[in-house]
Structure 1
């Protein structure tokens, strides 16, 4: 879904990059452009619809049979705060990767397809600077996407179901306030989980002038990585897959919280950011943006 070039009209990006503080100005301009797009809000709206549908379905149909459905599903009617948790579990394998793939895959390819890429570099913005800014904007969207699912899920649960102290996986009960902080930590965990995929998407975006191709390839790689992660024959490969820790946020619902998965996940994602960031830089530095 390429963004319209009209969204660039009137933006003094090239001029801003020639002054001190150009990187911050360029980042602010790109971030503003992203969140001005109807497509961005449509993606966030689609993610927000997931907890809404889950909450309404449980409210209307009642509890699922014991042992069936996503984790925490049976706790929703007792404590609506778990709507956000169920929504995260449902959204992480497919829906979040799809939305992230759209934004990351469009980062460079979208500009190239509309001929706006050369104008971003006229001042000059600097190719590496522009690439870093594009990636940071995609990273901000990762955080926005994860927060959308968790926050909307919490609000829906608050409206449709009773709210009370949160029973953790270790059996300990914590206050509503601490429970909400734990859910925010889970949103941060999910956002971090998507950073490696964003780097892959930006790299793929430098390879083509067709944004849809980069978007689709990014999403397909996420699905393929999860399939490989489910095959015991490839167990040796699992620790290297960028999806390996995606659903490891349950450790944050223990008392005390266990941060090992968070740290391991962050290190793995940082590795992907470094590797695919370097590949993207190598490709973008030699890319003919005038063709």
Structure 2
């Protein structure tokens, strides 16, 4: 993940006031341009490559070693040899505490600070966007990356796991067996759950990014907050605080691997992340709309 960790270069972004810039008011065009720019960056591609490497590493390690016994290693690891679809889910569980938040923190922390560092923020605000529209587009593109990151892990895991261990009907945590297509849908649900879990952190990163013109500082602060939230979540002495931490429901994936699906954790997680999104995007808007970037 260390590859190309600096802010985007001017070659990565077209001139916002040139003929290729989306006209004022064309939010869809600005959003499409932002997403395209994000996924063209070598840094973004390197991050997705590292995330794709997690399920590959797990699958190869299990294939070359003896099958893990129940309870050994990360959750669901002992089921990998029984069905390759568990590779992606296991890799996602392994990635949630550090790799996925690190990836999201890098992207979210660069949203505004990267533009300010390059001096392009003032032109974006003058020409195609406006502050509120720009902030909405920046957050939406980060949310797209959240889903892309988790899908990368799950889909790579399914391909590698299927090649090494085969794809068969899956026995869920409730003991019920489901077909391969339905089990694949469950894996996608897990990916969606983790993506939703990262939306609150993305909003925090967006806000932090408005506080500085140093992208690396915003990235580091966002990741540090994610790690701190998880540490606090593991301290029983502050259990009163746990339900309010944005990382509280990150690993509550089990309900999606039962029959019938229990949506309680998904709904609770969605409400918590929505609260963080509302608060921190509002703070980011208040900061950006009062920040002097045009002088």
TM-score range (shorter-chain normalised) is over 0.9
- Poorly superposed stretches of 4+, deviation over 6 Å: none
Provide the rounded CA distance (Å) in 1 between the counterparts of 2:71 and 2:106.
34
Extract unaligned runs of 5+ from structure 1. none
Which residue is equivalent to 2:259? 255
State the 1:290 CA deviation: 3.5
Query: 2:125 aligned to 121, 128, 137, which one?
Result: 121
Question: 119-128 or 246-255, which moves further after superposition?
Answer: 119-128
Which residue is equivalent to 1:68? 72
Provide the rounded CA distance (Å) in 2 between the counterparts of 1:8 and 1:186.
33
Provide the rounded CA distance (Å) in 2 between the counterparts of 1:256 and 1:110.
45
TM-score by length of 1: 0.96
Instruction: Map residues 156-175 of structure 1 onto 2, 5 A cutoff.
Output: 156-175=160-179
How many residue pairs end up in the alignment?
289
Query: 2:23 aligned to 17, 23, 26, which one?
Result: 17
Extract unaligned runs of 5+ from structure 2. none
| Gap change, CA 1:13 and 1:195, over 3 Å in 2 | farther
Provide the rounded CA distance (Å) in 2 between the counterparts of 1:109 and 1:231.
33
State the 1:33 CA deviation: 0.5
| Gap change, CA 1:15 and 1:72, over 3 Å in 2 | closer
Aligned 8 A contact 1:73 1:82 in 2: yes
State the 1:64 CA deviation: 2.4
Query: Could you say what secondary structure the match of 1:209 adopts?
Result: coil
Provide, for residues 22-80 of structure 1, a one-character-per-residue CA deviation record: whole Å limited to 9, x for no partner. Answer: 11111011011101111111000000000000000000012224422011111111111
Query: Could you say what secondary structure the match of 1:212 adopts?
Result: helix
State the 1:6 CA deviation: 1.7
Instruction: Map residues 179-258 of structure 1 onto 2, 5 A cutoff.
Output: 179-258=183-262
CA RMSD of aligned residues (A): 1.3
Which residue is equivalent to 2:12? 7
Provide the rounded CA distance (Å) in 1 between the counterparts of 2:163 and 2:121.
45
Query: Could you say what secondary structure the match of 2:193 adopts?
Result: helix
Aligned 8 A contact 2:22 2:128 in 1: no
Provide the rounded CA distance (Å) in 1 between the counterparts of 2:72 and 2:21.
57
TM-score by length of 2: 0.95
